Structure 1
Amino acid sequence: MTVWEFATGTASQTQQLAEQLARLLRAGDLVILSGELGAGKTTFTQGLGRSLGVREGIISPTFVLVRIHPNLPDGHNPGGPDLVHVDAYRLATPGEIDDIDLENTLDSSVTVVEWGADRVEHLAANRLEIELVRAVGGHAPAAGPAAGSTPDPAVGPVPSGILDFADSFDTDEDDDEPRTLRLQAIGPRWDGIDFSVLGRPVNTTE
């Protein structure tokens, strides 16, 4: 299984790569995005949405979990798929994923799931897994705060919701620093697809 690596230096370049990828996408495709806080997952999704020709206003769906951006019939890609944008950070089990009924839109839309690694793979045998890596790393936990965890007594209690906000909000304030994007295509849907059309890869590994 081949892993493609691409380098971008700015938010604009990250979005341009996403726009190129969008031209390969069709209804039913699942894209799983991973990466630390500020890695650019939402920035990447904005580029996808622009190329797909969906309604503007793509922001991180941290608090609503799912946002649906419909295709614009008077846009540059009429008749294309809608974009379903998901934040799976708070969803710890396959059952919680199933509760938001992504199956209802999966076949008719392009579905992009931030923080989706190890959470949504059961939704589709065919998927793209994309990891965004910042040149200067920051801290990001793999999952939300454990249920029933005890606050540090030196800090004192933290109001409900503050930990979730701080740990899950994907701020892209450092968009213009270099990034590496690692893309892995899984399933027969992607057999024979040459992802070098996204740009010049810096590395490919089997």
Structure 2
Amino acid sequence: MRSLPTAELATESATLDLGARLGAELRAGDLVLLDGPLGAGKTVLARGVAAGMGVTGQVTSPTFVIARVHHPAEGDGPALVHVDAYRLGGLDEIDDLDLDTDLTDAAVVVEWGEGVAEHLSEDYLVLRIHRREDDVREITFEPHGERWVRWLADHPGFV
């Protein structure tokens, strides 16, 4: 089995930068799931994605509102739908958010999305975040579907 690309990020700014570089690559229809324990850096990575997409609004954890939509500042490019699935009770509740409709004109980033959001698209990227004891974040890129397998193959130096 081929090993998955993994980035080691020693600082919060490095995590933001990786997110920004990924955000600059996202397009409408993209689904990204952020997986990791509490405090791993999922929201920091999402803030970087938002910066790379050039969207407006402060990006914070949507834990209590479940989902936030951020629109591009310049009016072009996809919106970002930032979701926190931590408090959702399962597939029915994520379906109630109508995220599959959002995927037509937005990129969707879901914190705690594994196990509840994969069904939204055949093509999705899981970013597994592990925060080591020395505070270095290890982020593993796990592609699912042709879009992300091809994207990672076409961007070998990205991670």
More helix by share: 2
Secondary structure at 1:103's aligned position in 2?
A: helix
1:192 is aligned to 2:153: no
Equivalent residue for 2:55? 54
Secondary structure at 1:3's aligned position in 2?
A: coil
Contact 1:85 1:111 in 2 (8 A): yes
1:82 is aligned to 2:79: yes
Farther-moved stretch of structure 1 (83-92 vs 100-109): 100-109
Equivalent residue for 1:140? none
Q: Which runs of 5+ in 1 are unaligned?
A: 137-175, 200-206
1:180 is aligned to 2:138: yes
Q: TM-score, normalised by structure 1?
A: 0.72
Contact 1:2 1:184 in 2 (8 A): no
Q: CA deviation at 1:21?
A: 1.3
> For residues 145-194 of structure 1, what are the alpha-carbon distances to aligned partners after superposition, in whole Å with 9 as ceiling and x for unaligned?
xxxxxxxxxxxxxxxxxxxxxxxxxxxxxxx9211001111101124323
Equivalent residue for 1:166? none
Structure whose alpha-carbon radius of gyration is higher = 1
Secondary structure at 1:46's aligned position in 2?
A: helix
Correspondence 1:37-186 to 2 at 5 A: 37-73=38-74, 78-136=75-133, 177-186=135-144
Q: CA deviation at 1:131?
A: 0.8
Contact 1:2 1:185 in 2 (8 A): no
Q: 1:29 to 1:17 in 2, by over 3 A?
A: same
Q: Which runs of 5+ in 2 are unaligned?
A: none
Give the whole-Å Cα distance in 1 for the aligned partners of 2:150 and 2:68.
Answer: 31
Contact 1:85 1:112 in 2 (8 A): yes
Secondary structure at 1:185's aligned position in 2?
A: strand
Q: TM-score, normalised by structure 2?
A: 0.92
Equivalent residue for 2:35? 34
How many residues align? The count is 156
Secondary structure at 1:130's aligned position in 2?
A: strand
Give the whole-Å Cα distance in 1 for the aligned partners of 2:150 and 2:118.
Answer: 21
Could you list the structure 1 runs, at least 4 aligned residues long, displaced by more than 4 angstroms after superposition.
none
Equivalent residue for 2:18? 17
RMSD, aligned CA: 1.6
> For residues 3-46 of structure 1, what are the alpha-carbon distances to aligned partners after superposition, in whole Å with 9 as ceiling and x for unaligned?
21110000000111111112321110000001011100000000
Letter in 2 for 1:4: P
